[in-house]
């Protein structure tokens, strides 16, 4: 089970999360003035380059132009680029162009807003061009997909997991308290937490105790499902 945590702005905390067992360390790459917690390309590159080899760096982008996303990838050199804009802002054709412009060593993660049957169709459209899908919650009035602290319809998420042939990361209001239930219901390849592991009232400062609790909750859930607690 992949554990992914967003959105780090502090390298020391990112390294601590890796020690706790977080597999994919997420950060927002690019100062576009769209969301809180944005890093410059220089800051993002430093974070990506400083992570231990057993983790993957995940650079979230709010850019909508293929060449700008490519520029970010060239400057930051992440393991994974997470496209978190509204899905059609970087549509299937744009995603295919991006795939052809960046190194094949850089994986693409596409955020899919989970709402209704259309979400399943979107996931199936993007899956052939991506290495991961991230299922998250879209709230009207907030930019892009995710970072809302809101859960969505897990039944739709479960159907997306069954409908595509690539790993699906489950996000959307996940916390140490509910992540085990999400895993049980949805059966994803991984889980993601952003707001659920932040300090109270903060959109960018991580609560490292909550991060550790999230990792423990995921590991305990997997041990239980594998019968290791019997």
Buried b / exposed e over 13-22, threshold 16 CB at 10 Å, is bbbbbbebbb
Domain ranges within the chain, ordered by starting residue: 2-225
pLDDT tens, per residue, the chain with 230 residues: 999 999 999 999 999 999 999 999 999 999 999 888 999 999 999 999 999 999 999 999 999 999 999 999 999 999 999 999 988 999 999 999 999 999 999 999 999 999 999 999 999 999 999 999 999 987 665 656 767 777 889 999 999 999 999 999 999 999 999 999 999 999 999 999 999 999 988 778 899 999 999 999 999 998 877 765 44
> Strand pairing partners for 192?
4
Gap between the Cα atoms of 133 and 118, Å rounded = 15
Answering whether pTM is above 0.85, one says yes
What superfamily would CATH give domain 2-225? Answer: Aldolase class I (3.20.20.70)
């Amino acid at each position: 089970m992949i554990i992914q945590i967003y959105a780090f702005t502090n390298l020391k905390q990112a390294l601590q999360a890796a020690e706790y067992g977080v597999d994919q360390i997420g950060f927002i790459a690019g100062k576009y003035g769209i969301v809180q917690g944005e890093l410059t390309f220089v800051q993002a590159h430093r974070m990506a380059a400083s992570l231990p080899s057993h983790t993957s760096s995940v650079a979230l982008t709010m850019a909508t132009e293929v060449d700008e996303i490519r520029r970010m990838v060239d400057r930051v050199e992440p393991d994974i680029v997470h496209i978190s804009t509204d899905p059609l802002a970087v549509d299937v054709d744009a995603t295919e162009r991006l795939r052809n412009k960046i190194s094949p060593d850089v994986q693409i993660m596409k955020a899919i807003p989970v709402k209704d049957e259309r979400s399943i169709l979107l996931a199936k459209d993007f899956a052939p061009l991506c290495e991961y899908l991230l299922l998250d919650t879209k709230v009207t009035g907030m930019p892009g997909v995710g970072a809302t602290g809101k859960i969505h319809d897990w039944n739709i998420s479960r159907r997306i997991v069954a409908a595509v042939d690539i790993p699906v990361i489950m996000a959307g209001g996940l916390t140490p308290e509910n992540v085990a239930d999400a895993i049980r219901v949805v059966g994803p390849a991984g889980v993601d937490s952003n707001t659920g592991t932040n300090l109270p009232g903060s959109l960018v400062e991580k609560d490292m105790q909550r991060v550790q609790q999230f990792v423990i909750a995921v590991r305990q859930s997997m041990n239980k499902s594998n019968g290791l607690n019997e």
